[in-house]
Structure 1
């Protein structure tokens, strides 16, 4: 037996590598809350669709008025209240984007109904096409005729295209809608950012110092909250000169209060944690503890609240413009366009439909983005 052991080649053996046992293998790389949030947002289909729509709307609001053949204040009464007309889509009749106006007229006979149509369309019979639905039997309103009026041809604008039509003064609604979208987004984002800065600073300082400082600052905040927001905004707009900055200042007078209360509540929970005590022990100044330790830990909640405040500001600006306290003419915002469209709702509903649909899409998009960010930055549902 000893001879057999001596005959074995030592090169046939090697030490077992046990430096990495199967139980010690990390199945998933460690990640931060931000990385998990980004991964979660990418999997959220509705969030990505909303983000894409928002990017498209922002790009259109920036570049559409620039490349348009018309300006937002260019007037021409010859093209007043033209219907929407879009290339290619004008050939699809049921879309109603050919710029032609179709109405139904009744009479004792076909001739009477056609005479009513000629009178309605300024006696321009050369540009009216009649479609007899019922010839009638001589009784009142027994004859029915559909009259289609080609207003573009009647005005000599066969080569012109107004995608959203024109208003009463002949201004291109397409250009005004996108220019108004840019103004509304500018007002809302600026107001939200100012609310963010004031609210975060106010709430963070009140919560961190506590005691008399917190008591005094919160009583002042409650006084501001007790004043009706609409009253304050209307008074500020009436006092200041009409314009974009007047609306922004009016919206931020009381808009920062909700952000301040949210930040205060979160900072109160965080300031007793160990990392804050460690920073104090190492001699870090209070402003550094607030700016570098407390606020970043509340950043997820701040972002979500800001995303929800933007559509609220857009709606409030539209409301102010609708009641006549918005931008002065000829400047446009979505609120002023909706106000103008409301005046001609019965005759030209497209003037109201397009800005109303756009402002609805913007508000829905921001709310979906806010919901997605809220879920993504919530540490309780991390996977």
Structure 2
């Protein structure tokens, strides 16, 4: 068959661009960041957290005061140009101690949450993937731990381990992994019957590889959100333990221990209580705002 120009019709330029993809292709991470940037409250929380982390890292190093140095001649002095947050009963600069407290509190929050996420992912992944008897036994253990109020056995663990930074991290890790395990288990159960899991089984992938390489990456949304919300919970638990005398031991300072030290004289020197309490409150608020923003940004149903 012979073809000629008369047999064809040229499409106008406007019609050719109808199906043109105007928006550039984005990766999952880029799309999440795009959605997160639209949430001003979440971005405000993220900026505040970056500032407080940088201040905790570099602030004590750049200050001319030490968080342990005592000078009784300057005891209980209110906020001034020389001491921005005032001094405590031993004449120690409260601004440096709040920054040092941020180091301790944030370290506990991040490390305890990261360890609990690691344990919870493995435990929940194995339980959800294998199911049956394995799932029943593993979940009965989780339910037994979950039935006891977290504060009670955290306090018991702290009494046995006799306080300290490592002891607090261990106690919080033991108590926090349960929630992550239940979340991951639920996600794995909903995903393990999908076609991509069947394809992985067909090519001979081991159960551990399927869990780590195929199922866990598809659960990252809930995992990241839970991690973001568990950090302020760990900070608050540490502050509570330090407040009742089971946390950080002197001369180390955390926000909870600073608040505990200031409690006796808060009527005469309220600033000693206000600044560490404000640091705890603002940090927890920032984490919660960021967590709420990530909840929407990581949900495919809300992304446009």
TM class by shorter chain equals over 0.9
1:83-102 matched pairs, under 5 angstroms? 83-86=78-81
Q: Write out per-residue CA displacement over residues 100-131 of structure 1, whole angstroms, 9 at most, x where no aligned residue.
A: xxxxxxxxxxxxxxxxxxxxxxxxxxxxxxxx
In structure 2, distance between residues paired with 1:379 and 1:215: 31
TM-score by length of 2: 0.93
1:363 pairs with 2:256: no
Task: Give the CA deviation at 1:16.
Answer: 4.1
Which residue is equivalent to 1:76? 71
Return the alpha-carbon distance in structure 1 between the equivalents of residues 289 and 268 of structure 2: 34
Cα distance, 1:22 vs structure 2: 3.7
How far apart are 1:170 and its partner, in Å? 1.0
* 2:101 and 2:253 in contact (8 A); partners too: yes
Q: CA deviation at 1:363?
A: 0.4
What root-mean-square deviation, in Å, do the aligned CA atoms of Structure 1 and Structure 2 show? 1.7
Larger radius of gyration: 1
How far apart in 1 are the matches of 2:20 and 2:105? 53
Secondary structure in 1 aligned to 2:253? coil
Contact 2:57 2:103 in 1 (8 A): yes
Would you say 1:66 and 2:61 are equivalent positions? yes
| SS of the residue 1:256 aligns to | helix
Equivalences for residues 233-252 of structure 1 within 5 A: 233-252=154-173
Distance in 2 (CA, whole Å) between partners of 1:31 and 1:56 is 29
Secondary structure of 2:86's partner? coil
Q: Please list every run of 5 or more consecutive structure 1 residues that lacks an aligned counterpart in the other structure.
A: 1-13, 87-160
Deviations 1:163-207 (A, max 9, x none): 111111111111111000110000011100011000011000100
Is the CA contact 1:33–1:379 (under 8 Å) kept in the aligned structure 2? no
Match of 2:49 among 54, 58, 61: 54
Answer yes or no: is the 8 Å Cα contact 2:162–2:246 preserved in 1.
no
Q: Is contact 1:199–1:257 with CA below 8 Å preserved after alignment?
A: yes
Does 2:86 align with 1:165? yes
Which residue of structure 2 lines up, in the alignment, with residue 310 of structure 1? 231
TM-score normalised according to structure 1 size: 0.74
1:259 pairs with one of 163, 177, 180: 180
Task: Please identify which structure carries the higher strand content.
Answer: 1
Rounded to whole Å, the distance in 2 between the matches of 1:366 and 1:227 is 26
Greater helix fraction, Structure 1 or Structure 2:
2
Given that 1:165 and 1:174 are in contact with CA atoms closer than 8 Å, whether structure 2 keeps it comes out as yes
**Partner residue of 1:270?**
191
* In the alignment, structure 1 residue 193 sits paired with structure 2 residue 188: no
Per the TM alignment, residue 64 of structure 1 is displaced from its structure 2 partner at its CA by 1.2
